[in-house]
Amino acid sequence: MLYFIFTIDGDWKEYFNIGLPEEKRLPDKQRMLSLIDREIGLATKILGGKFIHFIHTSPRARDFFLQPEFIGKWREIEGRGGDVGVHCHADDPGRAYYHNDPGKMEEMIGFFTGALEENNLSPVAFRGGYMSFSPATIPVLEENGIFLDFSCDPGRYLLHDGRPVSDWRGAPDNFYRMSYEDHRRPGDSRVFEIPLGIYIETESLWKIWKKARQFKRRKGETVLSVLAHSYDFSSFKMRLKIKLALLILKRFGRFISAEESLRIASGGQG
C-alpha cells in the first residue's frame, strides 16, 4: 500500500536571498497570512484538510510565527484535520549552519515546541532547514515529544564552503526508525524518518506521474512525503501545479495524517 503525506515548509523566498538588504529579507505578516489561507483552502478541497505545515523558526524570525494571527491559523489547520510541525532553519543562509550544534538545536526546538504547546497546539513533526539533520537532534526531538522527522531526501549531499549542510547519502527511500549513531541508518531510537518522495517545485507533472507509478509497484507499505513551500502559493501557475500533482498522486496512493503515518511506521494498521 502506498501512502503520501502532503507537507508545506512555511518559508518565504526573500529569506534565501543574501543579496537583499537585511530588512527586505524579513517575512511580511499580511502576505504570509494570505499564503497560509491558500494552503488551507487547497488542502481542505483536495485532501480533506490533511497536511502538515512546518512552521518556520530561525535566528532571523525566531518567534515571528507565534504572533496571535498565526496561532489562529495553526489552530485552524489542526481543526480541519491537519497538523503543524517545527521547521528549524538553524542557519544564516549562505554563511553559517548550526544543525550540528546540539546546544543551538535544543534551544530552538525546545523554545518553539514549548511555545506552540502553551497555545494548545500539538507539534508532531520536525524538518530541518535545507533538509539538514544531525544524530544529536534525535534525543532533542524525543525530549520534546516529536517522533516524526521529515528531513530525509535520499541521496542528497549539500555542501557550503566544503562543509556538509545536508547529508542523506545511503539513506533508505522508505520510512524507518532512526539510529542514534547515524540518522541515515535504521536503528532503535523513538523517532521515525519519513523520506521525501515528491518535490513538486522541482519535478514536472510527467515525472511526478512516473515516480508515483513506480512507488505503487513496491511491495509492502510505503510512506513518503510530498513537499511544497508557502512561497509556491503566491503564483497561480504553481498553485495549479500543486493541485494537479496532488490529484495525480491520489490516483496511486492515499494521503494520510501525521498520526496515521506514525501508526503505520510503528507497526499498526493504516
How many angstroms separate the CA atoms of 183 and 49, rounded? Answer: 30
Q: Is-contact 29 69, C-beta < 8 A?
A: yes
Q: Is 203 within the bounds of a domain? A: yes
The DSSP bridge partners found for residue 164 are 159
The per-residue pLDDT for 164 is 87
Q: Which three cell numbers stand for residue 7?
A: 507537507
Give the whole-angstrom CA distance, residue 193 versus residue 152: 7
pLDDT-derived band at 268, boundaries 50, 70, 90: low
- Over residues 128-141, the pLDDT tens digits come to 999 999 999 999 99
In a domain, residue 178? The reply is yes
Q: Do the domain assignments include residue 13?
A: yes
Residue 166 belongs to a domain with what CATH number? Answer: 3.20.20.370
- Read out DSSP for 108-145? HHHHHHHHHHHTT----EEEEGGG---TTHHHHHHHTT
28-48 mean pLDDT: 98
- Give the chain's domain count: 1
Distance of CA 78 to the CA centre of its chain: 16
> What are the Cα distances from residue 167, in Å, to 150, 151, 152, 154, 164?
14, 10, 9, 9, 6
Residue 13 has pLDDT above 70, yes or no: yes
| 270 in a structural domain | no
Q: What is the pTM of this model?
A: 0.96
* Segments forming the whole domain that contains residue 31: 2-265
